[in-house]
Amino acid sequence: MSETNRSFKRVVLKLSGEALREVGSQDNISPEIVGRIALEIKEAHEAGVEIAIVVGGGNFWRGASASARGMDRATADYVGMMATVMNALAVQSALEAEGVPCIVQSAIEMKNVAEPFIRRKASRHLSEGTVVVFAAGTGSPFFSTDTTSALRASEMGACAILKATMVDGVYSADPKKDPEATRFDSISFQRCLTDQLAVMDSTAFSLCMDNNIPIIVFDLNEHGNIAKVIKGAPIGTVVSNEG
């Protein structure tokens, strides 16, 4: 993938649950932040890019953390899946308020609020210009929403996964702790695994490697970056088989 000439037909945008929450606020979801994200997605949508979204649930719940404190891990993960549904509905509401057609598909059936996940139907929605928000993870415990992103990107034939983070790319070390850390414009999956760079979990990486789906890590905090990266601007770090 060229750094200066990216062109996307269909992408999966990965948002963390924390991205929807204002720092220091007691509210789990900030309508203002979700509204800003929706405006940026609208800009990219109007440019003709087919957009799917996977959103985490960490602003409400973390299954691994609850499990470490004694809760059954499978149950803790199911609670986390419910949290992603709440976030997905908030994103859908914000997008529809901006006139962007949007459907939530849930891997756990809850027909009163979301469609069940059906691969062919989701792909058709995207082809028709509807944004699809994938909720409830994979529908099974022990899998992260990073893995969900890789799985859905593979199923939808997406060109890339766009991972919104709190930093502007992938670094050789944590830039908040190591002033000597350097940022990569591009890096291989294999190097990320070898150097233990925390981009996505190994299951997600394996899916992306096997299906040749690049991951673009970019800074969510910079206003306008969501629209820019979806439309193909050369920002962030590209993680791919080529490196």
Helix (H, G, I), strand (E, B) or coil at 85: helix
Tell me: is residue 14 an annotated ligand-binding position: yes
Residue 194 is which amino acid?
A: T
Tell me: is residue 184 an annotated ligand-binding position: no
Tell me: is residue 138 an annotated ligand-binding position: yes
Tell me: is residue 78 an annotated ligand-binding position: no
Tell me: is residue 141 an annotated ligand-binding position: yes
Give the H or E element holding residue 218.
strand 215-219
> Phi, psi (5° rounding) for residue 51?
-120, 125
Do 21 and 29 contact (CB within 8 A), yes or no? yes
Do 107 and 132 contact (CB within 8 A), yes or no? no
Tell me: is residue 62 an annotated ligand-binding position: yes
List, in order, residues 6 or more apart from 108 with CB less than 8 Å away: 78, 81, 85, 136, 139
Tell me: is residue 148 an annotated ligand-binding position: no
Tell me: is residue 129 an annotated ligand-binding position: no
Tell me: is residue 65 an annotated ligand-binding position: no
Tell me: is residue 172 an annotated ligand-binding position: no
Tell me: is residue 16 an annotated ligand-binding position: yes
Tell me: is residue 224 an annotated ligand-binding position: no
Tell me: is residue 147 an annotated ligand-binding position: no
Tell me: is residue 168 an annotated ligand-binding position: no
Tell me: is residue 171 an annotated ligand-binding position: yes
Q: What are the binding residues for ATP?
A: 14-17, 58, 62, 165, 171, 174
Q: What are the binding residues?
A: 14-17, 57-58, 62, 77, 138-145, 165, 171, 174
Q: What are the binding residues for UMP?
A: 57, 77, 138-145
